[in-house]
Amino acid sequence: MRVIFLICFLFSFNSFASPVQGLTKYGEGQMSVMFWDLYKAELFGKTSSYQADTPPVALKITYLRDIDKVDLIEATLDQWVHIGYENEAIPNWVSQLEQIWPDIKEGSQLTIRVHPDGTSDFYDATSKIGNMNDPQFGKAFLAIWLSEKTSEPELRAQLIGEKK
């Protein structure tokens, strides 16, 4: 009886469905600044190749160094400024991200999956850690990497599977 319980427990514990399950990988790239490797990013979607504004889509980031969540949020805001994105909901989003995002440790993963209705879920390597119900957030967040105005056009090209 104990063995059956243990097997059931292990299967229920390991039943986490990956946020990229059922999606096609479009591409991947690495973000480095000078001689520091910051993260590896991978982009996934439902279609056979990248098409803008076609959810579901997921961006998985594997961090290659520690990053404080305050710095991560500040970098997000800086990138929205860089691409010229404005939205009156940004202060609310920041407040929600402060509750959702952890401090990042080297090797940590953070994945966002944007659903067809525009809502978004965040995951770490093992579980869902939060969600954003504003349908504008996911598109705005992904624009940091996918906008043609991104600060990292080579990374964008790698993520969407362009050959350059």
Domains parsed from the chain with CATH numbers: 18-159 (3.50.70.10)
**What is the mean predicted confidence (pLDDT) over 86-94?**
97
- The pTM of this model reads 0.89
**Predicted pLDDT at 15:** 58
**What is the mean predicted confidence (pLDDT) over 59-67?**
97
Q: Is the pLDDT of residue 95 over 60?
A: yes
The structure tokens 């939205």 sit at 87
User: 121 in the Ramachandran plot: left (φ > 0), alpha (ψ -120 to 50) or beta?
Assistant: beta
Q: Is the pLDDT of residue 117 over 90?
A: yes
Angle at 67 between CA 81 and CA 120, to 5 degrees: 60
E strands in the chain: 24-33, 36-45, 57-63, 109-114, 120-123, 128-132
**Predicted pLDDT at 17:** 84
Residues 6 or more apart whose CB falls under 8 angstroms from that of 144 comprise 76, 79, 80, 83, 150
What Å distances lie between residue 96 and 23, 45, 73, 90, 121, CA to CA? 26, 25, 11, 10, 12
**What is the mean predicted confidence (pLDDT) over 141-158?**
97
Q: Is the pLDDT of residue 97 over 50?
A: yes
Q: What is the pLDDT of residues 25-42, one digit of tens each?
A: 999 999 998 889 999 999
